[in-house]
Structure 1
Amino acid sequence: MARILVVDDDPAVRQLLADVLGMNGHEVRTAAEGLAAVDAVKDFSPNCIVLDVMMPGMDGYGVLKNVRSQHGDPVPVIMLTAAADPDSAARAWADGVDYFLAKPFSADQLLELVGGMFGSVR
């Protein structure tokens, strides 16, 4: 399965995502904010990043730009946001996001996206 980095400043959301993905056979690491996410990308070398948009300090757009500026194969990024307005989505697409998921979303929606990329153990 895949190495997935989950980045969200909400501890409950972060833990839920880590649990759901972990129970589906993926190796999961978490980060609570943008700068920690940038470090985790270097240390963990994830195959996929599940990234919240609104976080204190470096937001998800900043993390996405940092990830996209790195050399090598692009890492798929799934952005999560409670602000699912057209401008946010357009900005995410322009910055190179692979998938954009509006909160609230179901665990099944996330697993379907990840399963499409890496397969599922369900």
Structure 2
Amino acid sequence: MTSGAQRATVSGPVGPAGQGGEPTTRVLVVEDSPEIATQVSRRFAAEGWEVRVATDGPSGVENARSYSPHVIVLDVMLPGFDGLEVCRRIQADDARAIPILMLTARDDETDLLVGLGVGADDYMTKPFSMRELVARVKALLRRHERTSRVAVADVSSPSGPPPIELGDLFIDRAQRRVSRAGEEAHLTPTEFDLLVCLASSPRTVLTRERLLEEVWDWIDASGTRTVDSHIKALRRKLGSDLIRTVHGVGYSLEPPTV
């Protein structure tokens, strides 16, 4: 095991075999605070998951490669190099996209948008409740599994799902590619799913709660800011005119004129 990494220190076995012979869910926790890492590891182990802890940026990247986790919980502030760089290297290096939830003590919107921009799927600010952390990680795992099933079905289908074309916005759902006015936009998996959800019902106002349910696969009022941050990230990449805010309700995609 590489320097800066360790098995989670928990009472009893870590990550028992899944029921029915299914592979155990592997979680990589990249966190330099021993107290937080231990608390998170114990809570995840109670779910029957196998947990490995990395305590700095370099070991976080190395364990993402060697451990092949199903999901990563990643702190922003780390020795070596920070969590943003860890996320960037993992997503650039791994052909298999790994869902990443970032933990940050900073509540600055710019930092959150940067985290989402380098490939994080979700984030939570410290302090956080273990119950909500587990709920969000479970939702990430469900969504990743669902996306993988859809991708396999699309490959086996001769044509795959039809693209969505709204004005100069083109969404290739089969290849998960997006362009506007002929210019390709590089979206994270979550940004892509959010855009498809909005574009599937253009000019229809979708509440934050509905977007949380359909895109993130969970409902909790505390997650509405996650939706807002991803909307802002989409606007930065595709233009501020594409998505309309309906204050106090949610968002609507307004088809652009050519």
What interval of TM-score do these two structures reach, taking the shorter chain for normalisation? over 0.9
Bigger-Rg structure (1/2)? 2
Instruction: Structure 2 unaligned segments of length 5 or more: list them.
Output: 1-23, 143-258
Could you say what the CA RMSD is over the residues aligned between the two structures, in angstroms?
1.2
CA contact (8 A) 1:51 1:60 kept: yes
- Matched-pair identity in %: 34
Return the alpha-carbon distance in structure 2 between the equivalents of residues 66 and 46 of structure 1: 15
Q: Secondary structure at the match of 1:57?
A: coil
Q: Which residue of 2 aligns with 1:100?
A: 123
1:43 Cα shift? 1.3
Q: Which residue of 1 aligns with 2:91?
A: 68
Segment of structure 1 superposing worse, 68-77 or 103-112: 68-77
Return the alpha-carbon distance in structure 2 between the equivalents of residues 32 and 24 of structure 1: 22
When the two structures are superposed, what TM-score results if normalisation uses the length of structure 2? Answer: 0.45
Q: How does 1:10-89 map to 2 (within 5 A)?
A: 10-89=33-112
Q: Which residue of 2 aligns with 1:117?
A: 140
Structure 1 residue runs of 4+, over 4 Å off? none
Instruction: Structure 1 unaligned segments of length 5 or more: list them.
Output: none
Q: Secondary structure at the match of 1:50?
A: strand
1:33 Cα shift? 0.5
When the two structures are superposed, what TM-score results if normalisation uses the length of structure 1? Answer: 0.92
CA contact (8 A) 1:4 1:50 kept: yes
CA contact (8 A) 2:57 2:81 kept: yes
CA contact (8 A) 1:2 1:118 kept: no
CA contact (8 A) 1:34 1:55 kept: yes
CA contact (8 A) 2:70 2:141 kept: no
Q: Secondary structure at the match of 2:115?
A: helix
Q: Secondary structure at the match of 2:80?
A: coil
Return the alpha-carbon distance in structure 2 between the equivalents of residues 90 and 114 of structure 1: 20
Return the alpha-carbon distance in structure 2 between the equivalents of residues 87 and 26 of structure 1: 33
CA contact (8 A) 1:5 1:41 kept: yes
Q: Secondary structure at the match of 2:128?
A: coil
1:71 Cα shift? 3.5
Segment of structure 1 superposing worse, 46-55 or 62-71: 62-71
Q: Deviations over 1:58-98 (max 9, x none)?
A: 11001000111023220000000000210111101111110
Q: Secondary structure at the match of 2:132?
A: helix
